[in-house]
A = this chain, B = another copy of it.
Amino acid sequence: MPAHPFDPLSVHEFSIAREVILKEHPDDVVDFREIYLREPEKAPMKQFLEFEHTGKLTAETPRPPRLAKVQYDVIRPGKRFEYHEAAVDLQKESIKWHEIVDTACHANLTVWEFRTLIQACERSDMFHEAISKFELPENFKVIIEPWPYGGPDKGEENRRFFQGLCFAQDTSSGNEDSNFYAFPLPVIPVMDARTQEIVRIDRLATGGKGDGLEDQTYSKRIIDHCKVAEYDPLLIKDRIRQDLMPLNVVQPAGVSFKITDGHLIEWQKWRFRLGFNPREGATIHDVTYDGRQILYRLAMSEMTVPYADPRPPFPRKQAFDFGDGGLLECTNNLTLGCDCLGQIAYFSTNKLTRDGKCIESPNVVCLHEQDDGLLWKHVNWRTGKSVAVRNRLLIIQFAITLANYDYIFAVKFDLAGKISYEARATGIVSVVNIDPGKTSEYGNVVNPGILAQNHQHIFCLRIDPAIDGHNNSVLIEESHPADIDPKTNPSGNLYKVIQTSFPKSGAFKAAPHLNRIVKIINPSHHNPISGKPVAYKFAPPPTQLLLAHPDSTQANRALFAQNHVWITKYKDQELYAAGRFTLQSQRELDGVADAAARNESVDNEDIVIWATFGLTHNPRVEDFPVMPHESLQFSLTPADFFTENPAIDVPSERNLSSKQVIHGSKQGHGTGVNGSINEAANGDVPVNGTGSAGECCNGH
């Protein structure tokens, strides 16, 4: 059987793509950036999936061409530089599509470019001269943290730049993981990525309230007022808690999911395919439940992190953590027993060396089941019979680290037809040096001498629905109070549920005060019981949108972040909310705003929903040295899609491994004494009620 059209590229396909490109450039130097699956166009995929869903798939079934997307730099003789993108047909071993990208757009970055910045600093007299202005304590060394350059200043020539945030690390422990973020240095070297020369050193203000934007009157002993703040357990051994007992998740009969054909996952009536690419991370394809289509594709499309400190050059601190690239290089290789509990399946991927060699990146995605507490319960007070059913989640997880910040993403399927996408933000907040004793309106002092700047994290989730088929529409449902009226509302208790259709591509905001719900419906399929069109619904998370001024570069680069919901008509390859090229962009180009502006029909069409949600993060002292995660979750739930609670058939057996903790309490009689609380009683306690012993039922 040939590869499934959604399967990631094999090692063999990688090398075909590489060879095809190299053949095109016999006399040029080629630096490869990324090679990954260019997903098939939807028209042929609809036909293919029709075969697959009806069980008619054979080796002869017509398949869309298998394509590799290749991103690479070409250095022509005479050092003339070009950035190319191509789609290689892997059967024909030929280039199907090719573009020399306009120099106004910048290829997304790679970690090898990050490394060149560090080398350039080491070579740069300008940099050494800047650093020499500081007197660092004994045993401290300088650390350079490469960052994307952000949005260029207005009128600035838009060359390819990288900037380096600088810190000092205490080397006395000999531990390379000593937390250098606690010792920021107020300089930022800027490198021209083409010449790989440091072209400028930006000097940072270190003032506080009332000091204005430019204040740079700091002393030579620039980090003497900063204080150690370690997080590596090897460096805080004596502080680690000893009284947190192990908690294990055990599945004696194995897991409930099935993985076949490499990436086909089946679990509790759910069926979908897992993909992974260096731009979006894990992608979910062709989601069905009990054979009915729900989603064509689900993936995180973009995230931007704009910082709110107005002092130059901080307005350029704005990352697009998916679009700026390097996500694959930043993807964590997950470790058993650390990132999940229980029985975990892992998926690996391939990454590329600069010369186009393919190496495996192990365990970039994990899959496991998780208990989710009670899903539904009812007690019949007449009989005392209780039926309690627990929820179970199937979780697809991956994690990325972008310099100081870490993000954990999870797609969750549950037993009641719900699909959720969770984003957890953790890691180390971005900090700068602040003078002793000062505070700032641009952030919070989270450790002596360091200011954690106010910022936002704004995500955009791309949802390509297929509710009982590819043609869907959107209804916006709100609940409104009603006037008192003797004929229609004599007692004033009525509220009206108002539905509005959304015929043309566009955007709108969340409105929780109206209980605004978005229903993705199939207008040609109706629920036999309610008579309403079958639907999946979501409540747009009513999080704060982008705060940067509409005329600012930050805002213009992230138009997607200025509405909660965008509805567009499907277009092949239109996957990125902030556009194809975000690195040093000045305006969101071919992103979701431009897609919506086409003003196309989205009524009974193949539509795409883009959901924007985020965090306004004004740091707490508790966010240092590593922040407890802030999390956001977006959920799609069935709304008259099924003809009953889809989890009504979930077993309600009692978990016989659970144990009762006996404690000294005379349980409510106020005559308690100390009791050995770790002594566990036999899990098999007597059961009241009328149910069989195997079930969850109790007296009432």
A8 close to B668 (CB less than 8 A): yes
Check B513–A544 contact: CB distance below 8 A. yes
Known: A10-B669, A627-B645. 15 other contacts (CB 8 A): A7-B670, A229-B644, A240-B650, A249-B250, A249-B371, A258-B677, A262-B665, A336-B685, A338-B697, A345-B677, A364-B668, A446-B529, A454-B495, A481-B549, A492-B548
Residue in contact with A376 in the complex, picked from B373, B621, B627, CB distance below 8 Å = B627
* Partner pick for A369 among B4, B7, B247, B371, CB 8 A cutoff: B247
Within 8 A of B (CB), among A429-466: 439, 441-442, 444-448, 454
Give 9 closest A-B pairs by Cβ, nearest first: A262-B672, A492-B552, A254-B678, A492-B549, A315-B491, A338-B696, A348-B667, A337-B654, A495-B547
Across-interface contacts of A659 in B (CB, < 8 A): 336, 342-344
Is A248's beta carbon under 8 Å from chain B? yes
Answer whether residue A59 sits at the interface, using C-beta atoms and an 8 A cutoff.
Answer: no
Among A343, A623, A695, the most chain B Cβ lie within 10 Å of the Cβ of: A343
A626 contacts B by Cβ under 8 Å: yes
Q: Which B residues lie within 8 Å of A654 (CB)?
A: 335-338
Is B700 a contact partner of A333 (Cβ separation < 8 A)?
yes
By the criterion CB–CB under 8 Å, are A672 and B176 in contact? no
Q: What residues on B are CB-neighbors of A492 within 8 Å? A: 315, 548-549, 551-555
Whether A48 is near chain B, meaning CB under 8 Å from some CB there, is: no
A648 to chain B: which residues have CB within 8 Å? Answer: 231, 236, 239, 625-626
Specify the main secondary structure of chain A where it touches its partner: loop
Q: Is A587 on the interface with B (CB-CB < 8 A)?
A: no
- Across the interface, name the chain B residue whose C-beta is closest to A314: B493
Shortest CB-to-CB span from A495 to chain B, Å, is: 4
Q: A484-B551, A487-B213, A552-B493 are in contact. Are A696 and B231 (CB under 8 A)?
A: no
5 A–B contacts, CB within 8 A, in A order: A236-B649, A241-B651, A263-B672, A378-B406, A625-B644
Which residues on B sit within 8 Å (CB–CB) of A544? 479, 512-515
Check if A677 sits within 8 Å of B408, measured CB to CB.
no
- A19 → chain B closest CB, angstroms: 18
Say yes or no: A343-B680 contact (C-beta < 8 A), given A335-B697, A386-B335, A481-B549: yes
On whether the beta carbons of B335 and A371 are closer than 8 Å, the reply is no
Q: Which of A158-166, A198-206, A304-312 contacts B (4 or more CB under 8 A)?
A: A304-312
Contacts of A306 in B (CB 8 A): 493
| In the complex, chain B residues whose CB is within 8 Å of the CB of A513 | 509, 542, 544-545
Does A260 have its Cβ within 8 Å of any Cβ on chain B?
yes
- The CA of A623 and the CA of B657, in the complex, are separated in Å by 30
Q: Which of A202-238 contact B (CB under 8 A)?
A: 212-213, 229, 231-234, 236
Query: At the interface, yes or no: A604 with Cβ under 8 Å from chain B?
Result: no
Q: How far is the CA of A256 from the CA of B243 in the complex (A)?
A: 6
- Contacting A621 at CB < 8 Å: which of B334, B483, B529? B529
- Is A62 engaged at the interface, CB distance under 8 Å to the other chain? no
Cα A621 to Cα B243 in complex, Å, equals 47
Given contacts A13-B670, A377-B408, A645-B626, contact A493 B308 (CB under 8 A): yes
Given contacts A621-B529, A655-B338, A669-B350, contact A692 B231 (CB under 8 A): no
Contact between B657 and A387 (Cβ–Cβ < 8 Å)?
Answer: no
**Cα distance A260–B132 when bound, in Å?**
61
* Interface contact A406-B426, CB-CB below 8 Å: no
A356 smallest CB distance to B (angstroms): 17
Interfacial chain B residues near A697, Cβ < 8 Å: 335, 338
Chain B CB within 8 A of A597 CB: no
Q: By the criterion CB–CB under 8 Å, are B252 and A650 in contact?
A: no
Contacts of A141 in B (CB 8 A): none
Known: A260-B672, A260-B674, A626-B645. A308 touches B494 (CB 8 A): yes
Q: Is the CB of A628 within 8 A of B376?
A: yes
Asked if residues A244 and B542 are in contact (CB atoms below 8 Å), the reply is: no
A116 in the interface (beta carbon within 8 A) = no
Interface segment, A120-128, A187-195, A634-642? A634-642
Q: Smallest distance from the beta carbon of A580 to chain B beta carbons, Å? A: 24
Q: How far is the CA of A314 from the CA of B492 in the complex (A)?
A: 11
Chain B residues within 8 Å of A43, by CB: none
Interchain CB contact under 8 A, A248 and B657: yes
Cβ < 8 Å to B, chain A residues 540-596: 542-545, 547-549, 551-555
Whole-angstrom distance between the Cβ of A181 and the nearest chain B Cβ: 10
Contacts of A4 in B (CB 8 A): 670
Question: With the chains together, A312 CA to B489 CA distance in Å?
Answer: 10
What distance in Å separates the Cβ of A262 from its nearest Cβ neighbour in chain B? 2
Q: Does A699 contact B (CB under 8 A)?
A: yes
A613 CB, nearest partner CB in chain B, Å? 11
User: Does A347 sit within 8 A of B, measured CB to CB?
Assistant: yes
Contact, CB under 8 Å: A10 / B667: no
> Is there an interface contact between B618 and A645, defined as CB atoms closer than 8 Å?
no
Report the bound CA distance from A677 to B368 in whole Å.
12
